[in-house]
Amino acid sequence: MTYQDILTNARTCIGPYCKACPVCNGRACSNQVPGPGAKGVGDTAIRNYDAWKRIRINLDTIAENTTPDTSFDFFGHTMKYPFFAGPVGAVKLHYGDKLDDVAYNDILVSACADAGIAAFTGDGTNPAVMQAACHSIAAKGGFGIPTVKPWDVNTLREKFELVQASGCFAVAMDIDAAGLPFLQNLQPPAGSKTVEELAQVIKNAGKPFIVKGIMTVNAARKALEAGASGIVVSNHGGRVLDQCPASAEVLYEIAQAVGGKMKIFVDGGIRTGVDIFKALCLGADGVLIARPYVTAVYGGGAEGVILYTEKLGAELADTMKMCGAAKLSDLSEKYLFRPSNPFLS
Ligand SMILES: Cc1cc2nc3c(=O)[nH]c(=O)nc-3n(C[C@H](O)[C@H](O)[C@H](O)COP(=O)(O)O)c2cc1C
């Protein structure tokens, strides 16, 4: 199987909205929701993708000729690479009937663990989704990050019992899901949380807690104050608020403010190992990649997930080698190109 085979297969079974494009850049699906598109005019996912492409990197091979070390410490557990499959929920609605969330998460969690990385799993109104995801994570020795919606405290208590039994290394909450239409006006209520409410949630979780959906320095500081161990700089792929900046546009200043005090992850339009390299140079510890993993599962099942993971890992290692970086902790802004040529500016 090749990556092209994955795309070709996916086009036969991935529903009417996703086109399994050669490059997943948000253009063909635009504002298609249901579907993998973005909210409103639909240009935030496109902006996410384009922003990484605006950053260029510095080639330098006058360096030690070693194989770069891409291994990554995730709360005391070693992963092969500093990237994760991102959480995607309601796959049947957005990507067609081939899979439901239970089957999707099971393939993804298991294949990612076999590939040496971990998957974040999505959550939904159906409790069976979180139950099954936690079961899949437990079966893989805790390799997987259950991602809960910002439910009320009592609903979260039930979810955290499952989370704790799964043996996972960390739990996440997409706090920005407050912007999803299906979460509004629910009983019990779900949505925004104050710092105090979030602190209580984090205490109840009993695991390193990652807050997903941070787009400002102020929000990052609030997550830190509430006791989060990590954040995901993310605008949910443009699906929760129209006209956000790209995640790449805000990552650097957020990393400057809270880097070293908590783990910083980022997602949105990251598609290659070169993009991962750029994100780490801007201050991220790791990245999440969501939509392309759906294409990998639909088009190639477990084999597709492993193939795509290896493709990303090889691209990251190649980029590190070509820039003279031996290990992830070497990566910094010094590898990113700062234009200084007055004739081109
Ligand atoms: C169809 C779809 C469903 C998603 N469901 C979830 C979810 O349940 N929980 C979550 O935290 N993020 C969810 N996301 C957001 C992704 O995890 C990710 O933040 C976003 O897609 C940006 O990453 P990408 O550009 O690599 O896709 C979803 C995204 C899509 C496209």
Question: What is the spatial distance between Cα 253 and Cα 216, in angstroms, rounded to a whole number?
Answer: 8
Give the predicted TM-score (pTM) of the model.
Answer: 0.97
Cα–Cα distance measured from residue 332 to residue 74, given in angstroms and rounded to the nearest whole number: 19
> Two tokens at 306?
């492993």
Establish if 225 belongs to a structural domain. Answer: yes
Distance CA 35, CA 15 (A): 9
Residue nearest (by alpha carbon) to ligand 1 atom 15: 236
Per-residue pLDDT of 42-94, as tens digits, reads: 999 999 999 999 999 999 999 999 999 999 999 999 999 999 999 999 999 99
Residue 345 pLDDT greater than 80, yes or no: no
pLDDT tens digit string along 162-185? 999 999 999 999 999 987 877 777
Rounded-to-integer distance, Cα 342 and Cα 234, Å: 34
Q: Is 234 in the pocket of ligand 1 (CB under 6 A)?
A: yes
Report the first-to-last Cα separation within the chain, whole angstroms. 44
Asked if 16 contacts 319 with a C-beta cutoff of 8 angstroms, the reply is no
State whether the beta carbon of 86 lies less than 6 angstroms from ligand 1: yes
**Minimal-distance CA residue to ligand 1 atom 18:** 236
CA-90 nearest atom, ligand 1: 3
Total residues belonging to the chain = 345
Cβ within 8 Å of residue 341, ≥6 positions away: none
Q: d(Cα 292, Cα 22) in Å, to the nearest integer?
A: 10
> 147 in ligand 1 pocket by Cβ < 6 Å?
yes
Given ligand 1 and candidates 48, 175, 176, 236, which is best to mutate, with the most ligand atoms within 8 Å of its CB?
A: 236
For residue 90, what are the contacts with CB-CB under 8 A and spacing of at least 6? 101, 122, 124, 182
- CB of 291 shorter than 6 A to ligand 1: yes
Whether 122 and 89 have beta carbons less than 8 Å apart is answered as yes
The ligand 1 atom at the shortest distance from the C-alpha of residue 289 is 26
Per-residue model confidence as pLDDT tens digits over 199-232 = 999 999 999 999 999 999 999 999 999 999 999 9
Question: CATH no. for residue 262?
Answer: 3.20.20.70
The three-point CA angle 43-192-90 to 5° equals 60
Query: Does the pLDDT of residue 9 top 90, yes or no?
Result: yes
- Whether 45 is in a domain gets the answer no
86 C-alpha vs ligand 1 centroid, how far in Å? 7
- Residue 122 in contact with ligand 1 by CB distance below 6 A: yes
- In angstroms, the CA 89 to CA 121 distance is 8
Residue 186 clears pLDDT 80, i.e. is over it: no
Q: Is the CB of 39 under 6 A from ligand 1?
A: no
Pocket test for ligand 1, best of 94, 175, 291 (most atoms within 8 A of CB): 291
Domain assignment present for residue 210? The answer is yes
By alpha-carbon position, which residue is closest to atom 3 of ligand 1? 88
What's the 268 CA to ligand 1 centre distance in angstroms? 9
Distance CA 178, CA 144 (A): 23
By alpha-carbon position, which residue is closest to atom 29 of ligand 1?
88
pLDDT tens-digit map of 306-318: 999 999 999 999 9
- Is residue 189 over pLDDT 80? no
Domain housing 188: 72-338
* Domains held by the chain: number: 1
Q: Return the DSSP state at 330.
A: G
CB-count burial class (<10 Å; 0-12, 13-18, 19+) for 51: buried
